Structure 1
Amino acid sequence: MIILGIDPGIAIVGYGIIECNGNHSKVIDYGCITTDADIFFPERLKIVYNGVIDIIDRYNPEEVALEELFFNKNVKTAIKVGHARGVEILACVNKNLPIYEYTPLQIKQSVVGYGRAEKRQVQEMVKILLNLKEIPKPDDAADALAVAICHGSSLNFKESFRMK
């Protein structure tokens, strides 16, 4: 199964594409969609939407996993990222892909085995689990790969995480 993991954002949207076969996962690609803060906000959303569509068209994932948003500081930023997450979801829906979402705690628990793991621990485990030579950069791409790994390890009970 080919899984697209997405770390939602507006300035940087991380994505990771993995192939899962049983307990084995291998990386196909990862990277980021970026938008400049100087660009008119609706145009940034269009860039994100088109970027997700391009990734889907290029890799034909069977399922999509997204990280749920978690903010406790800047409400204005949270709203903008929420808008971006909406267009990321819309792109997946328009391509008829099933979407699953996971909390940061669930992702850390799945990848590291500890829900309160530090970011560096998650990145190191992504490197190990996908047999990579180095930690994926930027951090948003590593986070997206972690989301995809989490979904891959949840395939036996994935319906409880399907976006409703």
Structure 2
Amino acid sequence: MTEIFVLGLDVSMNSTGWAVLGVKGEAVRLIDSGIVKANTKKAHGERLTKQRENFEQILNEYPIEYAAREAGFSQHKKATQVLFKAYGVAEEYFSKMGLVEYAASTIKKVVTGSGRASKTELQQAIEVELNLPDDFEFKSDDESDAMGVALTLIEKKKLRKGAK
């Protein structure tokens, strides 16, 4: 039985969270995770290039089979336009994997059982689900959100039951 590698993304222009989870049979484990932190003083093009380079590095290191991202939202028109530049890079880069997108409420519902869960509740549920060590610390909410995205993809695609 081979392990299936899943990538979860919480895409933004300034701090993109990512997480690679492995699924083997019923077991799910954290392989690696982090954030792509951008220098906010740099032009959008430079930040997007850095993001793309990090995506390439992740794909070179791990045999990702499935990828998902959290759906973007913003209350301000200009912020939305900037955010969707970053979404475009992820969309193009992961299109061959059939990149899927999940709303934040869906992620919270799948991971915690409540679509209105707080960030803390989401992180606690992720810690339990992935059996993370007691001293594990999330680098940011972006990283934990990316883990939640990957867990949602695993559940929605029923990868635990369909593991090869």
Q: Which runs of 5+ in 1 are unaligned?
A: 158-164
Matched, 1:66 2:94: no
Q: Match for residue 80 of structure 1? A: 82
Q: Match for residue 42 of structure 1? A: 45
> Alignment RMSD, CA only?
1.4
Normalising by structure 1, we get a TM-score of 0.88
Q: Are the equivalent residues in 2 in contact too, given 1:18–1:28 (CA < 8 A)? A: yes
Following TM superposition, by how much is the alpha carbon of 1:49 offset from its aligned partner in structure 2, in angstroms? 1.2
Q: Match for residue 161 of structure 1? A: none
Matched, 1:5 2:8: yes
Following TM superposition, by how much is the alpha carbon of 1:24 offset from its aligned partner in structure 2, in angstroms? 2.4
Q: Distance in 2 between matches of 1:55 and 1:41?
A: 21
Which of 138, 148, 152 is matched with 2:154 structurally? Answer: 152
**3-state SS in 2 of match to 1:71:** coil
Q: Are the equivalent residues in 1 in contact too, given 2:35–2:139 (CA < 8 A)? A: no
What are the Cα deviations for residues 81-137 of structure 1, in whole angstroms up to 9, with x where unaligned?
1100110121112xx222111111110000000001111100111111111123422
Following TM superposition, by how much is the alpha carbon of 1:75 offset from its aligned partner in structure 2, in angstroms? 2.1
AA aligned to 1:111 is V
**3-state SS in 2 of match to 1:156:** coil
Q: Match for residue 162 of structure 1? A: none
Q: Distance in 2 between matches of 1:125 and 1:135?
A: 14
Q: Distance in 2 between matches of 1:77 and 1:37?
A: 13
Segments of 4+ moved more than 3 angstroms: none
Relative contact order: is structure 1 or structure 2 higher (C-alpha 8 Å, sep ≥ 6)? 2
Q: Distance in 1 between matches of 2:138 and 2:127?
A: 7
Q: Distance in 1 between matches of 2:82 and 2:73?
A: 13
Q: How does 1:63-142 map to 2 (within 5 A)?
A: 63-72=66-75, 74-93=76-95, 96-133=96-133, 134-142=136-144
Q: Distance in 1 between matches of 2:141 and 2:125?
A: 13
Q: Are the equivalent residues in 1 in contact too, given 2:23–2:29 (CA < 8 A)? A: yes
Q: Match for residue 162 of structure 2? A: none
Which of 20, 23, 31 is matched with 2:23 structurally? Answer: 20
Following TM superposition, by how much is the alpha carbon of 1:10 offset from its aligned partner in structure 2, in angstroms? 0.8
Q: Which runs of 5+ in 2 are unaligned?
A: 160-164
Count of residue correspondences: 154
**3-state SS in 2 of match to 1:29:** strand
Q: Give the fraction of aligned pairs with identical amino acids, expressed as a percent.
A: 27
Normalising by structure 2, we get a TM-score of 0.88
What are the Cα deviations for residues 49-108 of structure 1, in whole angstroms up to 9, with x where unaligned?
111111111112101011111222x32222111100110121112xx2221111111100
